[in-house]
Structure 1
């Protein structure tokens, strides 16, 4: 019977330290962490590893339910998958566990709140962008890839797959950058 912690932040500049310290303080012998959006399960390899690793009697621990995800269906599916493996899920804030039937109800409601919160965040972001565009100060999102470096590697004979591995992105992103240039 193991306590396995999972921590997640959405962006690269956010800090995981608080979640990691809390999970370790709660007795999680194994803690997996990643920086990825909670909007879907795609690309969340650490989460997939945790779910695959769960055994009967294990406990998946997260600091808040929105660390598992911000889509109600995804969160409920994750809880279901954990239970199919004989494990249960515990959220530390507020303290809720799937060990009891009431925990399922509370986690369902919290999942719906997390999804609603995500919609509000996106709406505020859209409003902010529109306001910035009207004022003429919108410059677009921060570029995550060094396009010049990608073009240099390609000009030097490096293939898209190797470039993708080098810069840490998908091959499709490399193809898009090469088409732009």
Structure 2
């Protein structure tokens, strides 16, 4: 029976060190970590690896429930997948486990709180942006991908997948830029 640790934070400028240290202190081995949003399971390759690897009797540990996810349905689906494999989840703070029904109930409530917190964060962000726009100081987010470069590469006959790879972005970003400019994506 393995005690598998999972650490997650939302952005590159955040640190996983505290979570990883706590999971090591609890005897977790291996520990998988990633820097990706907990809003959904999309792009969470380390979590997917744990769910693929976990065996009967294994325990998956997270420091807090919101590290597992910020969507109640996702958290409960993860617990269900662990159940199907005969494994269970332990949250270290506050300490609870899905071995018993009380832990499941508390986890459901914590998942709902994390989801509500995420909604509050988005609402505050929208309010802040609206105020900044009113004052004329909002300039929008910084572009991560040069639209001009995407369009130039497409005109050179480079396909969307090759553009994405060359620019280090997702194909979806390339498709959005091309769609916004009305560029044919099928012709090479």
Q: Does 1:136 align with 2:136?
A: yes
Q: How far does residue 168 in structure 1 lie from its aligned partner after superposition? A: 3.3
Paired with 1:111 and 1:179, the residues of 2 have a C-alpha distance of: 36
Paired with 1:94 and 1:78, the residues of 2 have a C-alpha distance of: 18
Paired with 1:158 and 1:24, the residues of 2 have a C-alpha distance of: 46
Name 2:15's counterpart in structure 1: 15
Instruction: Label 1:15 to 1:143 Cα distance change in 2 as closer, same or farther (>3 A).
Output: farther
Q: How far does residue 145 in structure 1 lie from its aligned partner after superposition? A: 2.4
Question: Across the two proteins, how many residue pairs are aligned to each other?
Answer: 181
Q: Does 1:35 align with 2:35?
A: yes
Q: How far does residue 37 in structure 1 lie from its aligned partner after superposition? A: 1.3
* TM-score between both structures, scaled by the size of structure 2: 0.87
Name 1:79's counterpart in structure 2: 79
- Specify every segment of 5 or more residues in structure 1 that has no aligned partner in the other structure, as ranges: none
Paired with 1:49 and 1:143, the residues of 2 have a C-alpha distance of: 31
Instruction: Label 1:15 to 1:86 Cα distance change in 2 as closer, same or farther (>3 A).
Output: same
Instruction: Label 1:72 to 1:179 Cα distance change in 2 as closer, same or farther (>3 A).
Output: closer
Q: How far does residue 127 in structure 1 lie from its aligned partner after superposition? A: 0.6
The SS at the match of 1:144 is coil
Q: How far does residue 32 in structure 1 lie from its aligned partner after superposition? A: 1.3
Q: How far does residue 150 in structure 1 lie from its aligned partner after superposition? A: 4.1
Q: How far does residue 24 in structure 1 lie from its aligned partner after superposition? A: 1.8
Paired with 2:146 and 2:67, the residues of 1 have a C-alpha distance of: 29
The SS at the match of 2:41 is coil
Q: Deviations over 1:16-54 (max 9, x none)?
A: 222122212221111111121111112212111111111
Name 2:56's counterpart in structure 1: 56
Instruction: Label 1:154 to 1:82 Cα distance change in 2 as closer, same or farther (>3 A).
Output: same
* TM-score between both structures, scaled by the size of structure 1: 0.90
Superposed, 1:1-181 pairs within 5 Å as: 1-147=1-147, 149-150=149-150, 153-154=153-154, 158-178=158-178
Q: How far does residue 163 in structure 1 lie from its aligned partner after superposition? A: 2.5
Instruction: Label 1:146 to 1:2 Cα distance change in 2 as closer, same or farther (>3 A).
Output: farther
Instruction: Label 1:139 to 1:21 Cα distance change in 2 as closer, same or farther (>3 A).
Output: same
Instruction: Label 1:142 to 1:25 Cα distance change in 2 as closer, same or farther (>3 A).
Output: farther
Q: How far does residue 115 in structure 1 lie from its aligned partner after superposition? A: 0.9
